[in-house]
Amino acid sequence: MTVRKNLIAGWLAHLLSVLIGFFMMPYILGTVGEVQYGAWVLINAIAGYSTMIYSGFGATICRYVADLYSRKNWERLNVVVSTIQAVYLGTATLVFIFTAGCAWLAPHLQNWGNVPIGEVQLSILIVGGTIGLGMIASVYGGVLIGTQRLDIKRAIEMTLGIVRLALTLLCLHQHYGLVTLALIFFVVTIIEHAASAFYAYRQVPTLSLGPWKIQRDALQECFSFSAYNAVALFAEYMIFFTDTVVIGLILGPLAVVPYQIGLRIAQMIQIPISQIGEVVLPKAGELSARNAKQELGRLVCKSMGLALLLSGGFLIGSAYFGELLIRTWIGKSYPDSHTVLVLLVGSQLIALPMVVARKALLGMGQVRRQAFIDLGEALLNLVLSLMLIHTWGIVGVAWGTLIPLVLVEGLVLLPYAMRELHVSRRDLWHKIVAPQIPALVALTLFCEMVGSRIPASGWIPLLAVTAGGGVVLLSVRGLIFVLEKRNPTPVPSAGSAASEVFAG
């Protein structure tokens, strides 16, 4: 399966997810109310910490399956996957215990407003149970990713996204609350993993899992890789969930809503770009197994350039039209949501190209140093968020995410990744950064010209300006690519990130 096909499949799945998300969030918010919705977000953030018990094996299974699948070592592949699934069985037990403890402590964690505490506790238990059961079955999704069949995995996600939408509309129409949302999450997750298992066995006909295939040497080998990846995963979840939890516990569930609006839009922007890294990970594992260092370096440069182009474009669009998007989407303005959105998307200008580098390093088996770099960033994020929330509220929490990311990833992780991936400073500028600048400048000029000429709200003008901006960005980038092909020199980019990645 080519990089291009996997990337397109991921983007199609995300497009559907965005369309569903744009419809569902205001619908759920209007149906259950801001207090219950804020409680639901807070419950998911708290329960989400339990997934840190994955111990870093998520990336491990993708990396080892990619390596063993390319070598056609079927017996060892079965041993590794069976061993990791046994580990997940143990960690799922810990998840059940953790969420039971959270449910017991729920009355003391926060004032839940008019939401019955029994409903909160039951919802936490259902969400935790869903995470635990899904953890055991997640090895099948790892097999699909490792064999570079993300198209199958994304197709499953698209189908079940529609199922989730239908169930949500049907059930919330009857004015059910948090428990209904939790049960929908449970049903959809179980179906997703069952479908992944079915297609994993079709993709790898020799796949055979069972406790009799567990081997100590495989466990030791995976743990040596996963231990450091677990540190990175712990840091990632601290960064991902810290903002919501800090706001919910200090300012209350109601304060989570305006932050969640900006965060949700930022995530919708982040996911399709971060999928570039997900596609790179198994490909990097394959290239590393073949010792194709030059081909891996070219793939990383092209992919990082594409991530920089898209994240820069979304940052410019968010700065000019983010408030229009929020007002059109939710139906009213939230004063701080636009500021939060710009800060979070601004952080992605560095974070998303670095996702590509991170995944390439994981595919190569390089995980130790970046794990501790991530942990330092997460701790700094937590400290700054706790400090700045008392001064600037939810905007301070957004700054608490942006500042550590710029400092740690830009000044520490980037030099390390360049050295390990054999990317020189010249490559960084001429192949990753410089080729995107003309397109981003052109997009800024376009937004400046049309920004004052569109209505204060409305989907038609919003979609029109988005389409226009996309045409400007891609047209200028395509023109630069054509000029580079006609007049290749060592100074400009080695090629268009977007065009060459799509070329497979």
Q: Do the Cβ atoms of 145 and 62 come closer than 8 Å? A: yes
From CA 388, how far away is CA 384, in angstroms rounded?
A: 6
All residues at 6 or more sequence positions from 244 whose CB lies less than 8 Å from its CB, including other chains: 41, 42, 45, 256, 259, 260, 263
Q: What is the 3-state secondary structure (H, E, C) of 21-53?
A: HHHHHHHHHHHHHHHHHHHHHHHHHHHHHHHHH
From CA 308, how far away is CA 291, in angstroms rounded?
A: 27
Angle between helices 3-48 and 74-109 (to 10 degrees): 30
Q: What is the DSSP letter of 177?
A: -
Query: Regarding predicted confidence, which is higher, 465 or 167?
Result: 465
Angle at the Cα of 352 (from 348 to 358), degrees rounded to 5?
A: 135
**Residue 497 confidence class, pLDDT cut points 50, 70, 90:** very low
Q: How far, CA to CA in Å, does 392 sit from each of 39, 99, 334?
A: 22, 32, 15
By CB atoms closer than 10 A (0-12, 13-18, 19+), residue 114 is exposed
From CA 244, how far away is CA 45, in angstroms rounded?
A: 7
All residues at 6 or more sequence positions from 227 whose CB lies less than 8 Å from its CB, including other chains: 55, 56
pLDDT in tens, 81-97: 898 888 888 888 888 88
Give residue 499's pLDDT: 38
Residue 50 neighbours by CB distance under 10 Å? 24
Q: Has residue 498 got a pLDDT over 70?
A: no
Name the phi and psi angles at 370, rounded to 5: -65, -25
The helix/strand/coil state of 337 is helix
**Residue 346 confidence class, pLDDT cut points 50, 70, 90:** very high
From CA 43, how far away is CA 114, in angstroms rounded?
A: 15
Q: Has residue 53 got a pLDDT over 70?
A: no
From CA 132, how far away is CA 186, in angstroms rounded?
A: 11
Give residue 476's pLDDT: 94
Asked whether the whole model's pTM tops 0.85, one would answer: no
**Residue 22 confidence class, pLDDT cut points 50, 70, 90:** low
Strand residues in 262-412 grouped as ranges (E)? none
Give alpha helix (H) positions in 110-138.
117-137
From CA 106, how far away is CA 90, in angstroms rounded?
A: 25
Give residue 495's pLDDT: 38
**Residue 445 confidence class, pLDDT cut points 50, 70, 90:** very high
Give alpha helix (H) positions in 49-116.
57-71, 74-109
Q: How far, CA to CA in Å, does 3 sit from each of 50, 117, 348, 499?
A: 32, 48, 22, 12
**Residue 230 confidence class, pLDDT cut points 50, 70, 90:** low
Q: Do the Cβ atoms of 242 and 381 come closer than 8 Å? A: yes
pLDDT in tens, 265-305: 888 888 778 778 877 877 787 787 777 878 888 889 989 99
From CA 63, how far away is CA 142, in angstroms rounded?
A: 9
Give residue 338's pLDDT: 93
Give residue 491's pLDDT: 39
Q: Has residue 3 got a pLDDT over 80?
A: no
What is the H or E stretch that residue 457 is in? none
Give alpha helix (H) positions in 173-215.
178-203
From CA 263, how far away is CA 341, in angstroms rounded?
A: 6
